[in-house]
Structure 1
Amino acid sequence: MADGLPHLDRYDSAILRALSEDGRMSVTELARRIGLTKTPIQARVKRLEEIGVIAGYRAVLNPIRMGLAHVAFVEVRLSDTREAALQAFNKAVRGVPEIEECHMMAASFDYLMKVRTADINDFRRILGERISSLPHVASTSTFVAMEAVKETGL
């Protein structure tokens, strides 16, 4: 870990791949798949959790089955990009559940958001009432996704 990153061998990588596909996999099944016994598998998983490579476990939800099939990407330009303004914007974004992702960009705009809603009318309402009223928003540009070709958590 000389560069601050943990060393991951082929067993660690195989464990991570397997758990990313099925986080509820039993240690017995994981050991069978990887080709090690349960004790070293348990030790490796514990180490991967302790060093933060495995940050947690969660259920992967299907947004379409939840009635949230509309995805739009929104470019946001701020009127003020000093640190206090950025922090105020970041904090406010975290309070809008429809904003699935928000990334600060090195681009001609300041942030890129992934917004998920039920339909275009719901998106229009969220854009007008929530996103446009976030601190320091000067302008937005929207791109509506027609199809998700690839979506992964990693």
Structure 2
Amino acid sequence: MKTDSVKLDRYDRHILEILQQEGGLSNLELAERVGLSPSPCSRRVQKLEEAGIIRGRAVLLDSKALGLGLTVMIQISMDRHTPERFEKFEAAIRGFEEVQQCYLITGQSADYLLKVAVPDMDHYQAFLLNKITRIEGVSGVHSSFVMRKVVDATALPLNYL
């Protein structure tokens, strides 16, 4: 089912709002919170999954509590802008567990923006020297270190729907 063919009503939006905050709710708990009986609620969630609106559910972990106290934003420049070069870079990045997010960007001198979580500066140096700079085509790296997370949201704004 295509996403643009799904018309979202207030129940669908409410389901999405709740699941973005508490993805681990059972269908019964979700149905009670939304004000539906369990069967229609389950059908709506399934419809949203089939449409690709709900891609999955995840547990959010606290990086500092797990000893990953350093968050780094990395801008990466590539030597050539070819589909093959980008494909190889992206394949390599997908294999690095330190990388939380990777975006191909425009409007900057960099080609990619990465968000990386590591325990400390020593681990970041090893990650940079042993992984990032060894990817064929990487011609420049600019690292910015996060001092404080002011907004760290995962929920999408639904007020535009």
Tell me the TM-score range normalised by the shorter chain.
over 0.9
Q: Which secondary structure does the structure 2 equivalent of 1:150 belong to?
A: coil
TM-score (norm 1): 0.92
1-structure distance, mates of 2:88, 2:123: 25
Q: Which runs of 4+ in 1 moved over 4 A?
A: none
Counting matched residue pairs gives 154
Q: Which residue of 1 aligns with 2:146?
A: 145
- What is the Cα-based RMSD across aligned positions, in Å? 1.7
- Compared CA separation, residues 3 and 81, structure 1 to 2 (3 A): same
Q: Which residue of 2 aligns with 1:67?
A: 67
Is 1:105 the counterpart of 2:108 in the alignment? no
2-structure distance, mates of 1:91, 1:135: 11
Q: Deviations over 1:21-51 (max 9, x none)?
A: 1112122221221112222111111111111
Q: Which secondary structure does the structure 2 equivalent of 1:63 belong to?
A: coil
2-structure distance, mates of 1:96, 1:5: 36
Identity of aligned residues (%): 31
2-structure distance, mates of 1:112, 1:6: 32
Structure having greater relative contact order (Cα 8 Å, sep ≥ 6): 2
Q: CA deviation at 1:6?
A: 2.5
Q: Which secondary structure does the structure 2 equivalent of 1:73 belong to?
A: strand
TM-score (norm 2): 0.89
Structure 2 runs not aligned, ≥5 long: 156-161
Q: Deviations over 1:44-79 (max 9, x none)?
A: 111111111111122222221111110011110111
Q: Which residue of 1 aligns with 2:159?
A: none
2-structure distance, mates of 1:124, 1:62: 22
Structure 1 runs not aligned, ≥5 long: none
